Amino acid sequence: MTIMKSETVHRSADMVLLPVTLADIEGASARIDGCVSRTPLVRSNSLSNCAGQSVHLKLETHQPIGAFKLRGAMNAILSLDDAQRRRGLVTASTGNHGRAVAYAARELGVPATVCMSSLVPANKVDAIRALGAEVRIVGSSQDDAQEEVERLVEERGLTSIPPFDNVDVVAGQGTIGLEILEDIPDLAAVLVPLSGGGLAGGIAVAIKALRPQACLVGISMERGAAMNASIAAGRPMAVREEETLADSLGGGIGFNNRVTLALCSTLLDDVILLTEHEIAEGIRHAWHQEDLTVEGAGAVGIAAILAKKVEVSGPTAIIVSGANIDPKLHQRIIEGAEA
């Protein structure tokens, strides 16, 4: 594994005023307790044999919506005052965040609108509608969907729940890091799906604050990895969105990114990109060896181990971020279809 940062950078990171703190994450943990699941962390014998170290799967697939996004959405919505919630909620999403906002809004009795691009798979769109949210399909990119959010905020006074670049959302996702360290105190590495950086950034804040020697690796797809391009450039970069098995990792990070680029640039040790074939192998392995139905984004950590693109030196946690794959696509992949 090629390390992007030196230990010196991480020692100095303690002096950097990051936009999300351990206290934010601990507060989120208390706030969402009872509203989200504390997900299991299970050892994978097959991946442990492959890596030569103990490898564990953090199964965010066990959340009520089948994905980790409920943590951040619930924390952000519970952090609003009553007036903000009553105005109605709106968000842009590649699928799972919209589902999380729709679920949380239904549980709290407030209306929600979810804006998505035409690239979002139909099964994710249908699941959001089934939760009672208004769905708007706008354009062919996450940026197009975000523009619709901003219009609705301006015209209808709705309250925006950003998908990742928000302190409360990031703090909610960071609660995963607290749970991992409770289960693996001697943690050596975490492999985490990387898109807009809410999940990776939040987990990195928690892990680096409590176990700074642990390595954080963000994993994305080769097709349209916006955060990877932005980290390399030192500023938000636009990338062309393409169809990918890891559809939940699509979209840009926002040209006005205020939270997640700083976190990922400072705290991630490495970023790894995967081919579509490698992601498909991860999905197949999850089904055949782990008895798990996993979407492409949720399989990237598994895929990185299988492809030998990451080497770990001790107990490792892989974030299995979601299970919401189209059933027909999943069937084709596990039967061996090429990506």
pLDDT per residue as tens digits for the range 21-45 = 999 999 999 999 999 999 999 999 9
Q: What is the 3-state secondary structure (H, E, C) of the chain?
A: CCCCCCHHHHHHHCCCCCCCCHHHHHHHHHHHECCECCCCEEECHHHHHHHCCCEEEEEHHHCCCCECHHHHHHHHHHCCCHHHHHCCEEEECCCHHHHHHHHHHHHHCCCEEEEECCCCCHHHHHHHHHCCCEEEECCCCHHHHHHHHHHHHHHHCCEECCCCCCHHHHHHHHHHHHHHHHHCCCCCEEEEECCCCHHHHHHHHHHHHHCCCCEEEEEEECCCCHHHHHHHHCCCCCCCCCCCCCHHHCCCCCCCCCCHHHHHHHHCCEEEEECHHHHHHHHHHHHHHHCCCCCCHHHHHHHHHHCCCCCCCCCEEEEECECCCCHHHHHHHHCCCCC
Residue 263 is predicted with a pLDDT of 98
Residue 12 confidence class, pLDDT cut points 50, 70, 90: very low
Residue 338 is predicted with a pLDDT of 77
Residue 80 confidence class, pLDDT cut points 50, 70, 90: very high
Euclidean distance between CA atoms 85 and 83, whole angstroms: 5
CATH classification number, 69-160, choose in 1.10.10.10, 3.10.129.10, 3.40.50.1100, 3.40.50.2000: 3.40.50.1100
> Residue 6: pLDDT above 70?
no
Are the C-beta atoms of residues 90 and 115 closer than 8 Å to each other? yes
Active site residues: 69, 321
Global pTM reads 0.94
> Residue 103: pLDDT above 70?
yes
pLDDT per residue as tens digits for the range 234-275 = 999 999 989 999 999 998 999 999 999 999 999 999 999 999
CATH classification number, 7-67+166-334, choose in 3.40.50.1100, 3.40.350.10, 1.10.287.3610, 3.40.250.10: 3.40.50.1100
Residue 92 is predicted with a pLDDT of 96
Bigger pLDDT: 7 or 78? Answer: 78
Residue 16 confidence class, pLDDT cut points 50, 70, 90: low
Domain residue extents for the chain: 7-67+166-334, 69-160
- Percent of the chain at pLDDT > 90 equals 92
